[in-house]
């Protein structure tokens, strides 16, 4: 795998950032490469910068205990997003 396919890490949000946390009904998956390995990420939160960039906090699978979980910049050319959010009952 080429390093150019890897997702780019983002810094944690600063105190002024508005962070949106995802609940159990908000299942959003992101497929991506990190360190030349394929992962499926589950979004736990996101924030946006003043210039419109979005960073997702991802729990990465298949091995979240060993995977480089954390904040990653959204990039539609390097990631695939699947939104499984359900409306409240």
Which residue is associated with the tokens 């050319």?
A: 77
Structure tokens at 25: 């009904």
* C-alpha–C-alpha distance, residues 10 and 19, integer Å: 14
Question: What's the predicted TM-score (pTM) here?
Answer: 0.86
* C-alpha–C-alpha distance, residues 89 and 87, integer Å: 6
All structural domains of the chain with their residue ranges: 3-83
Give the distance, in angstroms, between the CA of residue 40 and the centroid of all CA atoms in the same chain: 9
pLDDT in tens, 75-89: 999 999 998 877 655
CA-closest candidate to residue 42, choices 25, 62, 27: 27
pLDDT in tens, 15-52: 989 999 998 888 999 999 998 899 999 999 999 999 99
């Amino acid at each position: 795998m080429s390093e150019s396919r890897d997702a780019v890490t983002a810094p944690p949000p600063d105190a002024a950032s508005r962070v949106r946390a995802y609940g159990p009904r908000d299942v959003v998956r992101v497929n991506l490469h990190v360190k030349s390995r394929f992962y499926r990420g589950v979004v736990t939160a996101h924030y946006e910068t003043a210039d419109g960039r979005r960073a997702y906090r991802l729990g990465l699978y298949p091995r979240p205990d060993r995977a480089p979980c954390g904040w990653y910049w959204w990039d539609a050319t390097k990631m695939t997003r699947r939104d499984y959010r359900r409306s409240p009952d």
